[in-house]
A and B are shown apart, each in its own frame.
Chain A
């Protein structure tokens, strides 16, 4: 079965890019004086690296790509999608009443996190996915 995913080597690139999200603000902070605007731009750079890294991680092929992996991926995306809706509803009407809604970054990171956990659990057989 042909899948339109990135090659497996992108997993390593994704992890490296994710690591840059933590390193870049530190390095910029060491070489340039700190102001509020720069702190904000550093945060945006870190968030961009983090999202790019996580995206590469979840959108790259496994070592052996077969129909079972595709089924696990589909289930994990489904759960992550529903988790995103629940997060939105909880955020909009729940305890914090919209405190986090000004940034889609948290929503995306939460969804990717849920996807990774569910995908790993299904793939390793720790849950039967029913």
Chain B
């Protein structure tokens, strides 16, 4: 899965720390999601999309390999 979290966050000039506080997780969680090391649960993905006012499917995009 590709995620556009870093690009969207930078567009909105939100720091990792600010985003982490807004969604109630640690900064390390945001770093791991941005690096693609960790795939968030649907709850956290919806929280992030709600805070950033972006549709969740625009933030997290399925790849061809995810269907296999």
CB within 8 Å of B: which residues of A?
Answer: 62-64, 66-69, 71, 123-125, 128-129
Contacts and interface: CB of A to CB of B under 8 A. Distances in A.
A67 B28 contact: no
Interface of B: 24-26, 28-29, 31-33, 35-38, 40-41, 43-44
Nearest to A65: B26
The 7 closest A-B CB pairs, nearest first, are: A68-B29, A64-B26, A128-B37, A66-B25, A68-B38, A66-B29, A67-B41
B17 to A, nearest CB: 12
Given A67-B44, A68-B32, A129 B26 contact: no
Nearest to A128: B37
A102 to B, nearest CB: 41
A124 B37 contact: no
A8 B10 CA distance: 33
B26 A125 contact: no
A123 B35 CA distance: 13
A125 B44 contact: no
A124 B40 CA distance: 17
B35 A67 contact: no
A124 B35 contact: no
Contacts of B26: 62-64, 66, 68-69
Nearest to B24: A66
Nearest to B23: A66
Contacts of B25: 64, 66-68
